Amino acid sequence: MSWWFGTALWKRVLGALVLGIGFGALMSQMMGAEAATSLIESYIRPVGDLFIRLIRMLIVPLILTTLVAGVYALGDPKRLGPIGGKTLALYFATTFFANIIGIIFGLLFRPGAGADLGGADAVPVSTEAEGLASRLLSIVPDNPVAALADGDVLAVIFFAVLLGIGILMAGKAGKPVGELFNSASDVVLKVTHMVMEVAPFGVFALVAYTTVSQGLEAFASIGLLILTVYLGLFTHAILVYGGLIKFVLRLPLLNFLRGIVDAQAVAYSTASSSATLPVTITNVVDNLGVKRSVAGSVLPLGATINMDGTSLYLGILALFTAQAFGYELTLTHYFMIAFTAAIASIGAAGIPSAGLFLLAIVLSTFNVPPEQIAIIVGFILPVDRVMDMARTALNVTGDAAVSVAVAKWEGELDEERFRAPADKPMPVQTTPDNAGS
């Protein structure tokens, strides 16, 4: 089995993805779609579900331990201000560009022009959005233990930051607690490495099930929309994230992409940025040289609020809807679509297809009635997973790019590790950075 573990994880995951598509298509041809779906759902999909459960099992302990350890490693609570400010500014800036790119591609390709929605079944969608005040209050947990148990990511982040600050302010008395979280962070990351060895098998199972249950031919009916979304996401990744790494930070783009390919592969197969968080943290720390103090602070926040792929997608879907039903949009409408898509995407859950159900909020900017929204969602939902996978990969790429930028500007980036050639990997970090300094 040395050849297996000697092969890079991303290669194993990519191979599993291709094999999953081929296996699913072959089973559909041999047995028929219904029988193949039943067989794979009973005997193969559980492996994929197990992989997802293992990843989700790690999300809360990983966020809690790495974020507390990251704050503790800063050594001074005052450093949280610059790091937090730069992180939020970059996330909002990249979301702005995602909005613009989504609208431009929707106008250029016009994926909704001539779309046949006659075969779509309406899917009821709530148009009620949670109020801003209510959302902000929900960040503060009534009970931190309940927030941990429920997996409330924003509440866990809030509590972890406060706990880390409290440890720093306690001085010598807080040092044992800080060292405990440092050790716990290392242990959880080791468990993450163990879980990721299951990734190729989980990806194979998930992709095989998606192929037999939806069928490759189902994608043809909205092929132009899928193409538009993919081209928009790729353009955003190259121009915005690539420009940030190459021209703003003056770092080799190829090294960046090579360093996060594991996270991108897992994001693409699971379509969940939250589920990919353990892999993203591991890649950014081990491959890109971002110190734990920054990665543990920036990435959990990014997995929650950095949804550039969703924002871009919502913009394209809004134009798709307008074109399909014949709405005439003005410059004001475009501005409102971009603004609403940005706000809605920030609140999107990091789980598969969550962004699609925020579409109602964006379409309200040009008064699309609920029955038409339901038809659009019913038309797109069967193949949304294919686009959601690419959106998630973009979101994870953005999280990594922002963490590298913040780390470089804060002097917390090991550039020697970042620039290391592919055939000369640097030793993996196993101890906290500047702990307690």
Q: How sure is the predictor about 278, in pLDDT bands with cuts at 50, 70 and 90?
A: confident
pLDDT value for 125: 47
* CB 345, CB 310: distance < 8 Å: yes
Q: Is the pLDDT of residue 220 over 60?
A: no
* CB 355, CB 95: distance < 8 Å: no
Q: What is the distance between the alpha carbons of residues 252 and 254, in angstroms, rounded to a whole number?
A: 6
pLDDT value for 48: 84
pLDDT value for 78: 66
pLDDT tens, 9-41?
767 877 887 888 889 889 988 888 888 888 888
Q: What is the distance between the alpha carbons of residues 313 and 307, in angstroms, rounded to a whole number?
A: 10
Highest mean pLDDT among 124-128, 332-336, 347-351, 396-400: 396-400
pLDDT value for 436: 37
Q: Is the pLDDT of residue 331 over 70?
A: yes
- Which token pair is 301? 């926040």
Q: Is the pLDDT of residue 240 over 90?
A: yes
pLDDT tens, 395-419?
999 999 999 999 999 999 999 999 9
Q: Is the pLDDT of residue 434 over 60?
A: no
Q: Is the pLDDT of residue 238 over 70?
A: yes
Q: Is the pLDDT of residue 361 over 90?
A: no
Q: Give me the residue label for tokens 């990721």.
A: 196
* CB 410, CB 297: distance < 8 Å: no
pLDDT value for 398: 95
Which of 158, 87, 190 shows the shortest CA–CA distance to 408?
87
Q: What is the distance between the alpha carbons of residues 1 and 9, in angstroms, rounded to a whole number?
A: 14
Q: How sure is the predictor about 1, in pLDDT bands with cuts at 50, 70 and 90?
A: low
Report the percentage of the chain scoring pLDDT > 70: 82
More confident residue, 52 or 194: 194
Q: How sure is the predictor about 59, in pLDDT bands with cuts at 50, 70 and 90?
A: confident
Beta bridge partners of 193: none
Picking from 121-135, 225-239, 337-351, which range would have the lowest pLDDT averaged per residue?
Answer: 121-135
How would you class 165 by CB atoms within 10 Å of its CB: exposed for 0-12, middle for 13-18, buried for 19 or more?
middle
- Which token pair is 292? 């734990």
Q: What is the distance between the alpha carbons of residues 198 and 192, in angstroms, rounded to a whole number?
A: 10
Q: How sure is the predictor about 376, in pLDDT bands with cuts at 50, 70 and 90?
A: confident
Q: What is the distance between the alpha carbons of residues 156 and 174, in angstroms, rounded to a whole number?
A: 20
- How crowded is residue 97: how many other Cβ atoms within 10 Å of its Cβ? 18
pLDDT value for 152: 76
pLDDT value for 428: 47
Q: How sure is the predictor about 259, in pLDDT bands with cuts at 50, 70 and 90?
A: very high
pLDDT value for 127: 47
pLDDT value for 234: 96
Beta bridge partners of 413: 290
Task: Write out the chain in H/E/C secondary structure.
Answer: CHHHHHCCHHHHHHHHHHHHHHHHHHHHHHHCHHHHHHHHHHHCHHHHHHHHHHHHHHHHHHHHHHHHHHHHHHCCHHHHHHHHHHHHHHHHHHHHHHHHHHHHHHHHHCCCCCCCCCCCCCCCCCCCCCCHHHHHHHCCCCCHHHHHHHCCHHHHHHHHHHHHHHHHHCHHHHHHHHHHHHHHHHHHHHHHHHHHCCHHHHHHHHHHHHHHHHCHHHHHHHHHHHHHHHHHHHHHHHHHHHHHHHHHCCCCHHHHHHHCHHHHHHHHHHCCHHHHHHHHHHHHHHCCCECHHHHHHHHHHHHHHCCHHHHHHHHHHHHHHHHHHCCCCCHHHHHHHHHHHHHHHHCCCCCCCCHHHHHHHHHHHHCCCHHHHHHHHHHHHHHHHHHHHHHHHHHHHHHHHHHHHHHHHCCCECHHHHHCCCCCCCCCCCCCCCCCC
More confident residue, 422 or 397: 397
Q: Is the pLDDT of residue 302 over 70?
A: yes
Picking from 148-157, 183-192, 331-340, which range would have the lowest pLDDT averaged per residue?
Answer: 148-157
* CB 117, CB 324: distance < 8 Å: yes
Beta bridge partners of 290: 413
Q: What is the distance between the alpha carbons of residues 431 and 182, in angstroms, rounded to a whole number?
A: 8
Mean pLDDT within 62-88 = 75
Tell me the residue length of the chain.
437
Q: Is the pLDDT of residue 427 over 60?
A: no
Q: How sure is the predictor about 431, in pLDDT bands with cuts at 50, 70 and 90?
A: very low
Average model confidence (pLDDT) for the chain? 81
Q: Is the pLDDT of residue 71 over 70?
A: yes
Q: What is the distance between the alpha carbons of residues 113 and 117, in angstroms, rounded to a whole number?
A: 11
pLDDT value for 406: 94
Which of 177, 167, 141 shows the shortest CA–CA distance to 60?
141
pLDDT value for 430: 45
Q: Is the pLDDT of residue 432 over 60?
A: no
Q: What is the distance between the alpha carbons of residues 56 and 275, in angstroms, rounded to a whole number?
A: 6
Who's near 411: CB < 8 A, 6+ residues apart? none
More confident residue, 368 or 75: 368
Picking from 69-83, 136-150, 271-285, 346-360, which range would have the lowest pLDDT averaged per residue?
Answer: 346-360
Mean pLDDT within 156-161 = 82
Q: Which domains does the chain have, with CATH numbers?
A: 2-419 (1.10.3860.10)
Q: What is the distance between the alpha carbons of residues 354 and 287, in angstroms, rounded to a whole number?
A: 30
